[in-house]
Amino acid sequence: MNNTKRLEIFHRFHASNPEPKTELAYSSPFELLIAVLLSAQATDVSVNKATKELYKVANTPSQVLDLQLDGVVKYIRTIGLFNTKARNVIATCQILCDEHNGEVPDQRDALERLPGVGRKTANVVLNTAFRQLTMAVDTHIFRVSNRTGLAPAKTVLGVEKALLRFVPRDYLLDAHHWLILHGRYVCVARTPKCPECPINDLCDYKNKSRIGKNGKLESGLLRQNRGSEASSG
């Protein structure tokens, strides 16, 4: 994919959604950090449901510490891996209180030292709460970057670096949110909604889905597999 196409892709994302936002509910860097930490292998909807009640009683590190482990578990037990996540939340709050005056640090090294916080979570917090030019790559962004040809790479870190290099600078701050939303609702994993995709003409994916004779969306991969079966049989 060339840079003219890349620019046009983000131009269109921006035109249709000038201020993209995370779907996680939060009102402070701390609330965002905990929400992202809880969101691993869980939907944003399930995290928001849990944090809505949790943050009513505790939305600072010291208040969460006051709840203790059992108290945190009570609020997040509807989320996958809640036991491990609750332990990480408590340990993270302890470090925030002991080493950062109860504040969320705005440096990658310090964030990645927090239990349960990896590179992706640190990137989300740096980008969304502190408006730094970082790129968190989740499963949706990894897929979209490779399918479209926007920033192809074999590894998550490779895609992160390619996006940082290829996304036009004016759009870098919001690129993470646009790409997540695009992957979540249009360029979905199994059968991407290519016929209604706003960047269809710019996308390099070879197996675009299309509307079949029966009027239903037909996966390009399935079509291709059928073709190769027919030619080999």
Nearer to ligand SF4, 61 or 192 (CB): 192
Select from 34-42, 90-98, 161-169, 185-193 the region that touches ligand SF4 (CB under 6 A): 185-193
Instruction: Convert the chain into a string of H (helix), E (strand) and C (coil).
Output: CCHHHHHHHHHHHHHHCCCCCCCCCCCCHHHHHHHHHHCCCCCHHHHHHHHHHHHHHCCCHHHHHHHHHHHHHHHHCCCCCHHHHHHHHHHHHHHHHHHCCCCCCCCHHHHHCCCCCCHHHHHHHHHHCCCCCCCCCCHHHHHHHHHHCCCCCCCHHHHHHHHHHHCCHHHHHHHHHHHHHHHHHCCCCCCCCHHHCCCHHHCCCCCCCEECCCCCEECHHHHHHHHHHHHHC
CB 49 within 8 A of CB 56: no
Q: Which of residues 196-225 bind ligand SF4 (CB under 6 A)?
A: 197, 199-200, 203, 205, 208
The tokens 């860097």 sit on which residue? 29
Nearest distance in Å: CB 13, ligand SF4? 11
Per-residue binding letters, 98-137, with ligand SF4 (x by CB under 6 A):
----------------------------------------
194, 199, 201, 205 alpha-carbon torsion, rounded to 10°: -60
Nearer to ligand SF4, 104 or 203 (CB): 203
**Which pair of structure tokens corresponds to residue 154?**
């074999």
Q: Does 187 bind ligand SF4 (CB under 6 A)?
A: yes
Q: Does 193 bind ligand SF4 (CB under 6 A)?
A: yes
Nearer to ligand SF4, 79 or 179 (CB): 179
Q: What angle do CA 226, 230, 233 make, to 5 degrees?
A: 135
Task: Say which of 85, 120, 174, 208 is annotated catalytic.
Answer: 120
Select from 40-48, 50-58, 165-173, 193-201 the region that touches ligand SF4 (CB under 6 A): 193-201
Q: Does 72 bind ligand SF4 (CB under 6 A)?
A: no
Residue 44 annotated as catalytic: no
Residue 138 annotated as catalytic: yes
The correct pick among 88, 121, 134, 148 for binding ligand SF4 (CB under 6 A) is: 148
Q: Does 9 bind ligand SF4 (CB under 6 A)?
A: no
Nearest distance in Å: CB 11, ligand SF4? 15
Q: Does 186 bind ligand SF4 (CB under 6 A)?
A: yes
Where in the sequence numbering do the catalytic residues fall? 120, 138
Chain contacts with ligand SF4 (rule: CB under 6 A)? 147-148, 186-187, 192-194, 197, 199-200, 203, 205, 208
